[in-house]
Amino acid sequence: MSNKIWGGRFADRPDAVLEEINASIDFDRELAAHDIAGSLAHVAMLEKTGIVAKADAEAIRDALGRIHGEIEKGAFSFSRELEDIHMNIESRLTELIGPAAGRLHTARSRNDQVAVDFRLYIRAAIDAIDAAIRALQTALAEKALAHAGSVMPGFTHMQPAQPITFGHHLLAYVEMLGRDRSRFKDARARLNECPLGAAALAGTSFPIDRAATAKTLGFDRPTANSLDSVSDRDFVIETLAAAALCAVHLSRLAEEIVLWASPQFGFVRLSDRFSTGSSIMPQKRNPDAAELVRAKSGRIIGALTALLIVLKGLPLAYSKDLQEDKEGTFDALETLSLCLAATTGMISDLEPDVARMKAAAGAAYATATDLADYLVRELGLPFRDAHRVTGRLVALAAKKNVGLEKLSLAELKTVEPRLTKAALSVLGVENSVASRTSYGGTAPANVAAAAKKWLAALGKRG
C-alpha cells in the first residue's frame, strides 16, 4: 500500500525507517490552532474569489471548527502515518465532509501552509514573551525604587570597585530587558508578512487574493517573492537570536543571585518558594531556580545555533531539512518563558540585607576614587597625579590593615600635605553614592527618578 498523501507516484509504501524520520506530527501538532486559522482564511478567500463554491466553503468551515474543538478537548486522533499536522487535519476533514475537503488545498501547498503556521506561532510567542519580560522589568523597577538608596559594592573583575546602590544595580537589568523587548519587537515587525498563496515555490495560476488572506490573519501584507516565502526562516532566526540574548541576560542575573544568596556574600535572601533543600544536609538552602535559569540559557543558545547550521547550506526553495526548524524553536521559546516567570518570582520575593551590603560596600578601599576626585576638584591636581597620591594612601592603609577612612589627618598629610579634614568626608560610602549625580549615575535621587520613569513607561505607578 502506497502512502495515501502522495502515493499516486509510488508503487510501494515507505520503509518504516523513512516513516520514522519523516513524521513530524509528534511536535508540529503544536501548530494545530494556527493551521486551522490559516485554513479558515484560505477557504474564505477561495469562496470570495469564486474558486470554491459557497456550499463547499461552508462545509469546510464547519468541519474545521469541529476539528478545532476535538483538538482542544484532546479527542483528536493524531496519526504518524499522515506525517504532519496539515495532513492529519485534512484527513479528518475528509472523514467529516467527504470529497469537498479536497478543495481546501486548492492554490496552496504544505510549503506555504507551514510557513504561515510558523509565522503565526512565532508572532503569538513573541507577544507572550514581551508580556513576560515586561512583568520582570516591573518587578525589578519596583524593587529598585524601594532600594534606591541601599548601598552595595559595585564590582569590576569581580573585585570591589566603587559603592553603588542596589536599586542602580537592578535597573541595569531593566535596561537590558528593554533592549530585549525592542529586539523582539523588531523581529515581529519583519515577520508580519503572509506567505500563504506562494504555494509550493512558484505561486499559483488560480486568481487568488493574497492581500485578503494576509489581512484576515493580521499580517501587514503578503510576502513579495514566492521562492523566498516558502524557504525563509529569517523570522525564526531573529526571534531565537533575541531569545538567546535575553536568556544570557537572565543567566547573568541568575549568577549574581546565586552569589548574593551565598553565606560568603549574604547580600540577599531568596524566599522558600524559590529555594530548595538537600537530601543529606538539613541546613542547606539552594538557589536552584537561579541555577536552572543560568543553565537553561544553553538550550536557547543551542536552538539558535542548530537552526543556523540547518539553513547554511540549503538551496532555494523548500527542503525537508526545514522540518528541523520547529522542535528546537518550540523548546527554546517555552524555556525562555519559564525562565522569565522564575526570575520574576525570585526578584519579587527577594529580600536584600541592607546592612550587610553597606558594610561590604566600604571594604577594599572602594572609596579611593572619591578621594582621587576630591584631589582633582579641591586641590587642582591632574587626575593622574591624584591617582598616584591616592594609591600611596591606599598602600599606607593596607600596610596598617585599616580602611582609608581610619587613617588620621596627620597620616594623610604625610602623603599630601595640603589635605584637610574635609577630605575625610568623601570616604563614606553614602557620600560616595550621593556624589554620583551624572546622568545615569548611582546617586539615590537619580535611581529613584529612573525607577519611577520606568514604572510609568511600564504602566505602573511609582
pTM greater than the 0.85 cutoff: yes
Cα 422 from Cα 413, distance rounded (Å):
12
Q: Which of 182, 262, 271, 278 is catalytic?
A: 278
Per-residue pLDDT at 432 exceeds 70: yes
Contact 371, 390 (CB under 8 A): yes
pLDDT digits (tens, 9 = 90+) for 262-283: 999 999 999 989 888 888 888 8
pLDDT digits (tens, 9 = 90+) for 153-201: 999 999 998 999 999 999 999 999 999 999 999 999 999 999 999 999 9
Nearest to 253 by CA among 325, 339, 181: 339
Per-residue pLDDT at 358 exceeds 90: yes
Q: What is the pLDDT averaged over residues 125-148?
A: 98
Q: What is the pLDDT averaged over residues 427-441?
A: 92
CB atoms within 10 A of CB 390: 24
pLDDT band at 2 (very low <50, low <70, confident <90, very high): very low
Q: What is the pLDDT averaged over residues 145-152?
A: 98
The pLDDT mean for the chain works out to 93
Q: Which of 77, 157, 205, 279 is catalytic?
A: 157
Residue with cell 512583568: 135
pLDDT digits (tens, 9 = 90+) for 385-409: 999 999 999 999 899 998 888 888 8
Nearest to 128 by CA among 243, 39, 37: 243
pLDDT band at 1 (very low <50, low <70, confident <90, very high): very low
Query: Alpha carbon of 81 to those of 21, 264, 269: distances in Å?
Result: 11, 58, 53
CB atoms within 10 A of CB 303: 25
pLDDT digits (tens, 9 = 90+) for 292-312: 999 999 999 999 999 999 999
Q: What is the pLDDT averaged over residues 26-52?
A: 97
Q: Quick one: cell of 445?
A: 535621587
Q: Is the dihedral of CA 339, 344, 345, 346 positive or negative?
A: positive
State the SS3 of the chain. CCCCCCHHHCCCCCCHHHHHHHCCHHHHHHHHHHHHHHHHHHHHHHHHCCCCCHHHHHHHHHHHHHHHHHHHHCCCCCCHHHCCHHHHHHHHHHHHHHHHHHHHHCCCCHHHHHHHHHHHHHHHHHHHHHHHHHHHHHHHHHHHHHCCCCEEEEEECCEEEEEEEHHHHHHHHHHHHHHHHHHHHHHHHHHCEECCCCCCCCCCCCCCCHHHHHHHCCCCEECCCHHHHHHCCHHHHHHHHHHHHHHHHHHHHHHHHHHHCCCCCCCEECCHHHCECCCCCCCCCECHHHHHHHHHHHHHHHHHHHHHHHHCCCCCCCCHHHHHHCHHHHHHHHHHHHHHHHHHHHHHHCEECHHHHHHHHCHHHCCHHHHHHHHHHHHCCCHHHHHHHHHHHHHHHHHHCCCHHHCCHHHHHHHCCCCCHHHHHHHCHHHHHHHCCCCCCCCHHHHHHHHHHHHHHCCCCC
pLDDT of 259 reads 97
pLDDT of 406 reads 85
Cα 331 from Cα 339, distance rounded (Å):
12
pLDDT digits (tens, 9 = 90+) for 4-32: 555 556 667 777 787 778 788 899 999 99
pLDDT of 18 reads 78
Angle at CA 337, nearest 5°, toward 333 and 343?
140
* Active site (annotated) includes residue 79: no
Cα 123 from Cα 219, distance rounded (Å):
10
Per-residue pLDDT at 462 exceeds 50: no
Q: Quick one: cell of 121?
A: 506561532
User: Which segment, 208-212, 314-318, 360-364, 431-435, is predicted with the most confidence on average?
Assistant: 208-212
Contact 407, 397 (CB under 8 A): yes
Nearest to 327 by CA among 240, 414, 413: 240
Q: Quick one: cell of 94?
A: 475528509
Phi-psi region of 277 (alpha: psi -120 to 50; beta: other; left: phi over 0): beta
Pairwise pLDDT comparison (70 vs 2), residue with the higher score: 70
Give the bridge partners for 153, in sequence order. 163
* Active site (annotated) includes residue 34: no
pLDDT of 15 reads 75
**What is the dihedral angle through the alpha carbons of 409, 412, 413, 416, rounded to the nearest 10 degrees?**
-140
Q: What is the pLDDT averaged over residues 335-362?
A: 96
Per-residue pLDDT at 370 exceeds 90: no
Query: Alpha carbon of 235 to those of 114, 223, 334: distances in Å?
Result: 13, 12, 17
Q: Quick one: cell of 368?
A: 579611593
Contact 458, 138 (CB under 8 A): yes
Cα 249 from Cα 211, distance rounded (Å):
39
